[in-house]
A and B are shown apart, each in its own frame.
Chain A
């Protein structure tokens, strides 16, 4: 089989790349190893409205399971800071419907899909990639001018192309989640819980859906005394008011790459989404970044294929575009993460005292000078702020 472009993985990154390539007239094949696109999810399914709007995406109504007006943050002692406003509005999607919808849009644009089909390895021969794929029909070889690695945190495409995509345990959240029914909590908000004993170096969340809620947490191993799963059980036990009569309807887990360091291209290869560690390093959201990376990658791929030159040098333009848009912000958010990782529970309490809702939004937008101004009022936090936030 010969194609212009082989896409490995049919998550949000893969299906958007497929749609963009197919609508430009390229011959595209997407291989997805799961028998069903979507489950099991590795995701709390939250997306902001403005994030989607910036990408020009209007969700099919069936993708939407919850409508969110704002966020509530809880300090270790239970102090609550809420934030609302247009920027905070969002959805909790039903991820398997969302992913199938994205795939169907790509297929309408002309992309070909194979499910229960795993990419097994690839070799570069005469300027083309020969990729081995395994499916119900057995082992086959696909010859592709370009391979897009949209294969998530477990990306092998990057490794096969010689890129260093291996995540480091210091920058990789161990995530665990129940989807639960009968959770008693304000369903207009997403709820985020902080504390060394709640979710060390991460946070716990409750994202309400139509008749359930995603209840999970992410931790960093270096701060943890037990498994992520044990922290989740403890979290549920300690919030009897919320979970008294709630029961799980799903359990899932996953790794969240909260530091981006890999190169994103090699000769005839581009990495998009989680495969290139393109996740917001503060909150771990990766859906909109995955989609945006695919849109950028295809813009560059299109030019390269038209030129007949898909060398690393030419494809590098994608990496430059990404850095221009996200590089500075990601660096600042990494700094903020280093600062937050140093906070003890008592420091979180101080922060909860000085920060108002809109401040927290500013923080997620990497407006650090703003945080520093607030922190100056709490001398106990100054030392850390100087060390981690100021240049």
Chain B
């Protein structure tokens, strides 16, 4: 499972568009990860421009 550091997140939604299993949703300004779906592939961690996604 990955987690979001909300102090860093810019809610740009970039991570949402590359999650292969649709585990990430942006609710206006809040990124939420669906634990049941996440397969810990770390793609979002590699992508995030500010390092707000932590593996």
Question: What is the interface of chain A, defined by CB distance below 8 A to chain B?
Answer: 33-35, 40, 42, 116, 118, 152-156, 159, 165-169, 172, 174-176, 221, 227-229, 251-255, 257
Q: Tell which of B10, B17, B26 touches A253, judged by Cβ atoms closer than 8 Å.
A: B10
Chain B residue contacts of A251, Cβ below 8 A: 10
User: Which residues of chain B are within 8 angstroms of A165 by Cβ–Cβ distance?
Assistant: 17
Measured CB to CB, the closest approach of chain B to A252, in angstroms, equals 6
Interface size of B as a range: 20 to 34
What B residues does A174 contact at CB under 8 A? 14, 47-49
Q: Give which listed residue, A118, A167, A253, contacts B28 with CB less than 8 A.
A: A118
Q: Tell me the nearest residue of chain A to B45, going by C-beta.
A: A221
Q: Are B43 and A152 in contact (CB under 8 A)?
A: no
Q: B22, B27, B50: which contacts A176 (Cβ < 8 A)?
A: B50
B10 to chain A, nearest CB (A): 4
Please state if A154 and B16 are interface contacts (CB–CB under 8 Å). yes
Nearest chain B CB to A275's CB is how many angstroms away? Answer: 9
Nearest CB on A from B54, distance (A):
12
Shortest beta-carbon distance from A115 to chain B in Å? 10
- In the complex the two chains form, is A253's CB within 8 Å of B14's CB? yes
Contacts A34-B28, A154-B13 hold; do A228 and B18 have CB atoms under 8 A apart?
A: no
Question: In the bound complex, do residue A254 and residue B18 qualify as a contact, i.e. CB atoms below 8 Å apart?
Answer: no
The answer to whether A168 and B18 touch across the interface, beta carbons within 8 angstroms, is yes
Contact of A152 among B13, B15, B50 (CB under 8 A): B13
The answer to whether A166 and B20 have CB atoms under 8 Å apart is yes
Q: Which residue of B lies closest to A229 (CB)?
A: B50
Residues of A within 8 A of B13 (CB): 42, 152-154, 254-255
Give complex CA distance A154, B18 in Å: 8
Is B19 interfacial (CB-CB < 8 Å)? yes
Bound state CA distance, A251 and B52, in angstroms? 14
Cα–Cα, bound, A281→B32 (Å): 29
B6-48 vs A: 1/0 string, CB under 8 Å? 0000111111111110100111100000000000000100111
Contact A172 B50 (CB under 8 A): no
Q: B residues bordering A, Cβ < 8 Å?
A: 10-20, 22, 25-28, 43, 46-51
Q: How far apart are the CA atoms of A167 and B47 in the complex, in Å?
A: 11
**Shortest beta-carbon distance from A211 to chain B in Å:** 23
Would you call B10 and A221 a contact (CB within 8 A)? no
Q: Tell me, in angstroms, the Cα distance from A253 to B19 when the chains sit together.
A: 17
A166 and B49 contact, Cβ closer than 8 Å, known pairs A40-B11, A252-B12, A255-B12: no
Residues of the A chain whose Cβ atoms lie less than 8 Å from the Cβ of B22:
156, 159, 166
Instruction: Provide the bound-state CA to CA distance between A221 and B15, in Å.
Output: 13
A320 CA to B26 CA, complexed, in Å: 32
In whole angstroms, how far apart are the Cα atoms of A159 and B25 in the complex?
12
Q: For A42, what are the chain B residues with a Cβ–Cβ distance below 8 Å?
A: 12-14
Find B10's partner among A35, A155, A156, A252 (CB 8 Å cutoff): A252
Q: Which residues of A contact B48 (CB under 8 A)?
A: 174, 227
Among residues of A, the one whose C-beta sits closest to the C-beta of B13 is A154
A116 CB contacts on chain B under 8 angstroms? 28
Closest to B16 in A: A154
Query: Which residues in A have their C-beta under 8 angstroms from that of B46?
Result: 169, 221
Q: From B12, B27, B47, give the contact of A118 (CB < 8 A).
A: B27
